[in-house]
Amino acid sequence: MNKFKDDFDNPPVICRGKPFWAWNNLCEEHELRRQIRIFKEMGFGGFFMHSRTGLKTKYLGEKWFDAIKNSIDEANKIGLEAWLYDEDRWPSGTAGGLVTKDTQYQMKCLKFKKIDIKDFSWKKYCKDTFVFAVYFSEDKLSKYIPITKEDDLKTICKADCFLVFNVGIIASSTQYNGKTYLDTLNPEAVHEFIKITHEAYLNEVGDRFGSTVPGIFTDEPNCNDGWNKQQEITWSDILPDYFQKHFGYDVTKKLPELFFDLTTQLYSKTRYDYYVCRARMFTEAYAAQIGIWCGKHRLALTGHGICEYPLSEQAMWTGSLMPFYSHMQIPGIDMLTDYTNEYMTPKQCSSVARQFGRKWVLSELYGCTGWDTTFAGYKYMGDWQAVLGITMRCLHLSWYSMAGEAKRDYPASIHFHSPWWKQYKYIEDYFARINNVLSEGTPICDTAFINPVECFYFLLRPDISSERKDENIKKYDDLYDQLNNWILSAHIDFDFIDEELLQTQDYEILCENETFLRIGQMKYKLILVPETLTIRSSTLQLLEMFAKQGGKVLFIGNAPEFIDGEPSKNARIFAKNKCISINKEILTKQLKSFVGKVHIKDKNGNELDDIFCQLRKVDDSFVLFIVNTNSGKKYDNTFVTICDSSIGLLQVQLWDAANNKKFAIPNISSSSSEVKFVTDISAGGSLLFVIMQHKEQLPNYVKISQNDKYLIKNDSWDYTLDDENVIVLDRADCTLMRDECQIMQLCDNEILQIDDLVRKELAYPLRTGTAIQPWTKEKKGAANNVTMKLNYEFLINEIPVSGIKLAMEQPENWQISLNGHTVNAASSINDWWVDPAIKKLQIPTNFLQKGGNKLSIQGRFSEDTDLEIIYLIGNFGVETDGKRSSIIKLPDKLAIGSVTKQGLPFYSGNIFYKSSFYFETKPGLRYWLALEDINATAAEISINGSDMMLMGMPDYKVEITDLLKNGQNNICINLLGSRHNAFGPLHMANKRPVYISSAAFRKHENYYKWQEGYNLIEYGLYGYPVIYS
């Protein structure tokens, strides 16, 4: 227990987050080392060295490994972990196309064509194909006949058409640098991937495996060519033989059933067997083979599959992922966006980790959330995953560079690019402590839930897209989500049992005081079977034995009518008297009466659905972590009860993981088997309680009384900016010339639209997140006969005394002039702004003029030219009408409200608000300061010159008792900003879309709506600071 407490105070690096470090440019030693030292300052425990869009260093080449070695060396020097990543971008398996340039390793697909009877010729279609005569009744097959030789045609009578199947290679993609994806069903193909990738790392840095290099990340491997390929499914040359061996019949004789539903059967066993087969082949070829290799070479395999959620998509893309997780030393998931309630995904993964005794469960999180995500948002996203079993965080992501397209690679960059990077350690310290606690001991969990993923193996068809799902698919997806959430809302911890994985797991039925089913390192006394279409005979037999020896089995809804994909009454016979209806109240009552260990209720005795919990036993103590999943509602006077025969309570402690403080909870009620206490939990908040067998000298937790309330009523504030103010220049007139002849003229267009239109005109590849990587291409010089001129306009109402600077990329490639005056880029560059790719050029004050100003840049245009926003930066104010902007004088003070209307519409740094107030303290009272109405990433405050205190949690309160003095007091509030209003997306009309991708920055007919004017985030201090006693 002492080490447990010591590690809470000073968590080891394994408990700290490790960001995806996006290598997206030319990797240079000094810059790599500089950024690693920044990771240390930010509180990270290491990093994943991850090739991303824009990489110029040759992947897996000599200089790549120089960069890897230098990074490992720097990490080792300062006590960080350097984790490998196994791919150039994602999904893993191709080594950036180096593997799949060999056609034998490329993913295969089974395609078909419908041929009219009159058009069919045996000689034309017999080669390397499977042919069937088919009979349709509406859109279903009523009959099909395999045609294996020309004479079979004589027996065909009145068929509707022929289906001709053949095996092909999936389409190539720029995502794989012009190649295709890997045949992940084929062990030989995966072995080649290991040979080119993993063994290369072994040869170069294998001596660091298991120490500075703890493991390797695999990202989104899969065995599917994508949704809505209406006439193709995943295949492999070895699939027919594998299928015959494991399922006992020739699948090539039943291929129509993989694509069409039948009139003669409710569901197809062949289709069910195909998806079982495909999932098993994928797990064996990919996860098992790589996991064994990693284990042999002292590496931890981590990462995640693709499309884990909803369960139907998991079935389509990979089959059940739980067997896949079992081969990973650190199983993991992907949790994109901040709008998800994807609770099933971490529960599936953590279930495998628990059963196999693996304490670390990884989540790649924060992807697609945008620049404007707050510290409270980062905490909220991490908290609900932690309570569901996540103990290791891979943050998405930290850019090496913002050059070109890289700056649109799913921002924000959780790195030095963000203005709050020096404060971010607060978040990492918090989660390091949470991870430390939740990775210790054992979970108190005695309920299991049969994973229903195989229900979808009946329902999947290639023509069912993720947006256009079959009604049955949607029904079961919604049902499983609902049941999962009901159980969690009842404060019942549970694990999933996977039927495929169960075939090889170590399990036994234990008859102790009660009957348990032990699976690996977990024991369950209640097994829940959700309504599903099919169950395996081996699973049913185990449940029957478990029930016969006194175990509790509960069917929720109807018992399955199929066993192993075939009609059977056996499951329904067994389920008699074990079924309950699909009803939340009935299910909750059953669970609470049999396995209820934790109750979290309001004052009226109602369980609080929004609050999730995890209970653990650590040595002789208990740990309870509770999370409010409702970020819009707080719960005061929450009644918590913990029931366990071994609780032996002497003290309930509240461990404040954000501030590394511990408090004793007063006024607890306890017996030998339960403890009760009352607490408050903020909106989106979390609480960590430790129930001790002995008492410690700790201060009592004091609830903040909000009866005495003092407002610091200042309507205008002194302020300072910690960054230069900025004007965005993203609209220009464009003239494109070839051989001194104009070939395109664009007027007043947004810069990325210009980029797209020019590239289409010149037949150049578009710049996108999936473009072919620079490292694969020979460097091309500018086409000598193509030049471009861009003219930008802005207004100046008052010329800044200190002048202005240009901040732009690739200034060396352009002739730059302002109002006819030449700006010498080579001699004017002084430093950089936000990222080293964005160079600062000093503009002489005499180049500026009141009124209209014209900035012109002219140069040769090639595939390598990056057209990006140009910025004017300096000590000035800004006004904008949504298209044109003016330089004005900065305001003397800032008023309460948005700063975007106060001269700072594009400002992307932090703002220090400063003022004073008069206050009289009272003896014996404690005081807290709250910022109840701000719009910022987070805030810091200082009272009377104290060190800054971060307010990063949802309630934005800090204690200031010892800082206040009678009389006049000084206050400084640092509102942490974001880069959104400078880097965007600036023209996306969606107020807060589900995710931010590179497409959000461009005008396309897609998910994102476009507006010509700017869509800015309103930052600022909106309300008076409040002092509570």
Answer yes or no: is pLDDT of 469 > 80: no
The one-letter code for the residue type at 687 is: L
DSSP 283: I
- The larger pLDDT score, comparing residue 979 to residue 781, is at 979
The whole-number pLDDT of residue 1 equals 67
Q: Using an 8 Å Cβ cutoff, are 402 and 984 in contact?
A: no
Q: Using an 8 Å Cβ cutoff, are 497 and 449 in contact?
A: yes
The whole-number pLDDT of residue 350 equals 99
Q: Using an 8 Å Cβ cutoff, are 434 and 623 in contact?
A: no
Q: Please, which pLDDT band fits residue 6 given cuts at 50, 70 and 90?
A: confident
CA separation for the pair 1019, 1013 (Å, rounded) = 18
| CB-count exposure of residue 920 (10 Å: 0-12, 13-18, 19+) | exposed
pLDDT tens, residue by residue, 247-300: 999 999 999 999 999 999 999 999 999 999 999 999 999 999 999 999 999 999
The whole-number pLDDT of residue 906 equals 99
Q: Using an 8 Å Cβ cutoff, are 805 and 842 in contact?
A: yes
List Cα–Cα distances, 401 to 40, 277, 408, in angstroms: 18, 43, 11
The average pLDDT across 379-395 equals 98
The whole-number pLDDT of residue 549 equals 98
> Over pLDDT 70: what percentage of the chain?
98
Answer yes or no: is pLDDT of 466 > 60: no
Q: Using an 8 Å Cβ cutoff, are 627 and 670 in contact?
A: no
The whole-number pLDDT of residue 228 equals 47
Q: Which two tokens stand for residue 822?
A: 């030449």
Question: E strands of 707-801, at which residues?
Answer: 709-711, 716-721, 725-729, 731-738, 741-750, 786-796
Q: Using an 8 Å Cβ cutoff, are 57 and 23 in contact?
A: yes
Q: Using an 8 Å Cβ cutoff, are 980 and 731 in contact?
A: no
CA separation for the pair 236, 279 (Å, rounded) = 13
Strand partners, 808: 839
CA separation for the pair 1012, 187 (Å, rounded) = 51
pLDDT tens, residue by residue, 216-262: 999 999 999 654 466 799 999 999 999 999 999 999 999 999 999 99
Q: Using an 8 Å Cβ cutoff, are 870 and 807 in contact?
A: yes
The whole-number pLDDT of residue 1007 equals 78
The average pLDDT across 101-116 equals 96
Average pLDDT, whole number, for the chain? 95
The whole-number pLDDT of residue 878 equals 99
* Burial call 108-144: b when 16+ CB within 10 Å, e when fewer: bbbbbeebeeeebeeeebeeebbbbbbbbeeeebebb
Q: Of 395, 405, 413, 365, which Cα lies nearest the Cα of 55?
A: 405
Residue range 725-874 forms a domain whose CATH class is mainly beta
Q: Using an 8 Å Cβ cutoff, are 211 and 14 in contact?
A: no
CATH superfamily of 597-703: Golgi alpha-mannosidase II (2.60.40.1180)
Edge-first strand order for the sheet with 215-219 is 300-304, 215-219, 81-85, 46-51, 20-23, 398-399
pLDDT tens, residue by residue, 500-511: 999 999 999 999
List Cα–Cα distances, 940 to 164, 299, 420, 923, 958, in angstroms: 68, 41, 11, 26, 10
Question: E strands of 116-160, at which residues?
Answer: 129-137, 140-147
Answer yes or no: is pLDDT of 716 > 80: yes
The one-letter code for the residue type at 390 is: I
Domain boundaries, the chain: 2-101+172-438, 108-169, 447-594, 597-703, 725-874, 908-1028
The average pLDDT across 671-687 equals 94
The whole-number pLDDT of residue 672 equals 80
Question: Picking from 192-201, 739-748, 825-834, 864-873, which range would have the lowest pLDDT averaged per residue?
Answer: 825-834
The average pLDDT across 908-924 equals 97
DSSP for 287-304? IIHHHHHHHHTT-EEEEE
- The larger pLDDT score, comparing residue 954 to residue 885, is at 885
The average pLDDT across 446-457 equals 98
List Cα–Cα distances, 14 to 11, 36, 80, 427, in angstroms: 8, 16, 9, 15
Mutual angle of helices 2-9 and 425-438, in 10-degree steps = 160
Answer yes or no: is pLDDT of 605 > 60: yes
The whole-number pLDDT of residue 226 equals 59
CA separation for the pair 650, 691 (Å, rounded) = 8
Answer yes or no: is pLDDT of 476 > 80: yes
| CB-count exposure of residue 345 (10 Å: 0-12, 13-18, 19+) | buried
Q: Which two tokens stand for residue 865?
A: 């030219």
Q: Say yes or no: do domains 725-874 and 908-1028 share a fold.
A: yes
The whole-number pLDDT of residue 68 equals 99
List Cα–Cα distances, 986 to 51, 295, 396, 882, in angstroms: 27, 47, 21, 10
Pairing of strands 81-85, 215-219: parallel
CATH code of the region 2-101+172-438? 3.20.20.80
Q: Which fold has domain 908-1028?
A: Jelly Rolls (2.60.120)
> Over pLDDT 90: what percentage of the chain?
90
The whole-number pLDDT of residue 829 equals 76
Q: Please, which pLDDT band fits residue 825 given cuts at 50, 70 and 90?
A: confident
